[in-house]
Structure 1
Amino acid sequence: MALKDYTITVLGCGVMGTAVSSAILKAKFDPYPAKIYACNTSEAAAGLALSALKSDIVEHSFTLEGNRKAVAEADIILLACKPFMYQTIYDEVKESLNGKQLLISLLAGVTIEELTIFTPYVAKVMTNTPARFGCGTAAISFSKEAEAEYDELVLKLIGTVGEAFKIPEKNMDAATSLIGSGPAFCLLMMESLIDGGVRMGLPFEVAKLSAAKVMEGTARMVLETGDHPAALKSMVCTPGGTTIGGLLKMEDAGVRAGIARGVEEAAIISASFAKKK
């Protein structure tokens, strides 16, 4: 189904809701939304959204009555609250739902089946904070009704964050750990590179810029060549050289296993959210 002159209502327009909304606003695509409502529970909570979402099609709301009105006018609801709040939000706005709206959920650990209390048309999305800058990643799972009607539109909307692709819902916990938590894991590695550079005498700002550009350039190299990271890594390792020496020290410290186990643990925790309900 193609929507025209449609309205998006963002419920819980915090960090991730603002990141996705910002990406949508910056990308010029067809069909572009006619209006975006950015809804929060208080004026204070709306501060981030107010500063980031500056557009003549954006209207901000932080009163219950205003949020209900925004839901009633919505063609698409972007649910971006804390996962434990979705039931409370549903109870507050259920009289404004019409059963035909598309719900795009950014909530970790809340299943498509649980979200069908809002509407049968549900797209569950896992994305990350780089979405705000158009270099994010997003995995999407659909209810059968949403996939049949809104597959193309959701991929176009969420694709504005950077890269978007479909996965089965059973893989969403793994996507939560790798995509959602991944930036924090990369930032820890970046911080470690900076610390190493500073330890060996580089000024902090030089070390920070160098570490950030090394990670950015390496990621681009993997994407553009399509080569396995191990193959690209081996090209840097001169026999008896600095790189292989440094890598062996990292292997001694269990860096590779530590990162992989970190992804595994995050996925286990994501899966546990559903089991606690």
Structure 2
Amino acid sequence: MMSTNSRRKRCDIPATTMVGFLGGGRMAQAMARGIISSGLLQPAQIWASDPNPPNHKLIQSLGVTTTSKNEEVVKNTQVIIIAVKPNVVKSLLKEVSPFITKDKLIVSIAAGVRISTIEELLPPESRVIRVMPNTPALVQAGASVLASGSAVLKGDNDLVAELLSGIGISEEGSEANLDAVTGVSGSGPAYAFAAIEALSDGGVKMGLPRALSTKLAAQTLLGAAKMVLETGKHPGQLKDEVCSPGGTTIHAMHALEKAGFRAALIDAVEAAAKHSQFLGKLS
């Protein structure tokens, strides 16, 4: 069973806590920006390393300390976030492993890389938490799920959840659930973007200007999502409340059912989850 950070007691992050990003790409930038803008940490409490000049420049613009050396980030921080592409995680961990001590908390956001793989490449009893975030973290509206390794200490999950609160919501779950999480929230933004585009196309077909149609479509999905989250009602109940007898919406729902709309989304989640399982076997 998963627990949400919306019900979690707030974890006060000490002013002495230093967070480091190994990798300064879009997700690292989103996390750093969210953590800073929410007031969880000051820029001076964050380090980042990235050999890519554009990434280096962008994350440096947030006021954090940057370096080209991963070793420096590890030595100067207590929470170390692995934010590189999955295919370079192993080489990165081999590089920094000599500097990982028991006072370091390792947080991986690398898709598909198992906790066991990370633990095998680090010193015994290394504290490891794996997080599956998603791209709406870029606008502080992310949905993340975290899973704990075998040696985490009391309070480690709360600390990571508090950091994640700067980019959206987070839940706790077992690592076995993360492939399904990938199918729902990890890949889910793409399904939503496709739905917005299709709704916009429909509006244009029926005579709306493109900009207006896209704006209405996007706001409609945003509003519907907020209703699910804030009312606590089942999506099916909310759908029924829109479908008045003999009205336009029930006719539209019939068209969606004939087109296999819901089955297509279920198939999409299954396909993404299965591919995540496949990638995990390769890591």
Judge which range, 137-146 or 192-201, deviates more. 137-146
Structure 1 stretches lacking a partner, 5+ long = none
- Matched-pair contact (CA < 8 Å) for 2:146–2:171: yes
Distance 1:47 1:263, change over 3 A: farther
Aligned to 1:68: 71
Q: Contact 2:43–2:62 (CA<8 Å) still a contact in 1?
A: no
Counterpart of 2:90 in structure 1 is 87
Matches within 5 A, 1:109-148: 109-116=112-119, 117-118=121-122, 120-148=126-154
Tell me the distance in 2 between the aligned counterparts of 1:99 and 1:110: 21
What CA distance in whole angstroms lies between the structure 2 residues aligned with 1:178 and 1:249? 24
CA change 1:198–1:147 in 2 (3 A) is farther
Corresponding position: 1:21 with 2:35:
no
C-alpha spacing 1:34/1:121, structure 2 compared with 1 (3 Å): farther
2:206 matches 1:173: no
The gaps in structure 2 that reach 5 residues or longer are 1-10
Equivalent position of 1:49 in the other structure: 59
The secondary structure found in structure 2 opposite 1:94 is helix
Structure 1 residue 213 displacement after superposition? 0.9
The residue number in structure 2 matching 1:162 is 168
Q: 1:144 deviation in Å?
A: 3.4
Q: Which amino acid aligns with 1:275?
A: K
Asked if 1:182 is matched to 2:192, the reply is no
Query: Structure 1, residues 17-76: CA drift from partner, whole Å, max 9, x if none?
Result: 1111111111123x76752112112213424434xx523xx0122x3xx32212221211
Q: CA deviation at 1:141?
A: 0.6
* Structure 2 Cα separation of the partners of residues 263 and 147 of structure 1: 33
Determine the C-alpha separation between the residues in 2 that align with 1:36 and 1:228.
40
Pairwise CA distance, 1:149: 4.6
Displacement, 1:97? 2.5
Q: Match of 2:117, as an amino acid?
A: E
Distance 1:54 1:34 in 2: 10
Deviations 1:170-209 (A, max 9, x none): 1111111211111111111111111111111101110111
SS class of match (1:145): coil
Among 99, 121, 126, the alignment partner of 1:96 is 99
Say whether the 8 Å CA contact 2:93–2:118 is kept in structure 1. no
CA shift digits 1:99-126 (9 cap, x unpaired):
4310111011111111122352111111
What is the Cα deviation at residue 151 of structure 1? 2.1
Counterpart residue type for residue 9 of structure 1: G
Mapped partners of 1:45, 1:27: distance in 2: 22
Quick one: percent identity of the two aligned structures? 34
Secondary structure at 2:143 match in 1: strand
> For residue 230 of structure 1, what is the aligned residue in structure 2?
236
Distance (whole Å) between structure 1 residues aligned to residue 86 and residue 187 of structure 2:
15
Could you give the per-residue CA deviations for residues 152-181 of structure 1, whole angstroms, max 9, x where no partner exists?
211111122111111111111111121111
Which residue in 1 is equivalent to 2:222? 216
Greater mean deviation of Cα atoms: 113-122 or 200-209:
113-122
Determine the structure 2 residue equivalent to 1:242.
248
8 A Cα contact 1:8 1:33, kept in partner: no
SS at match of 2:53: coil
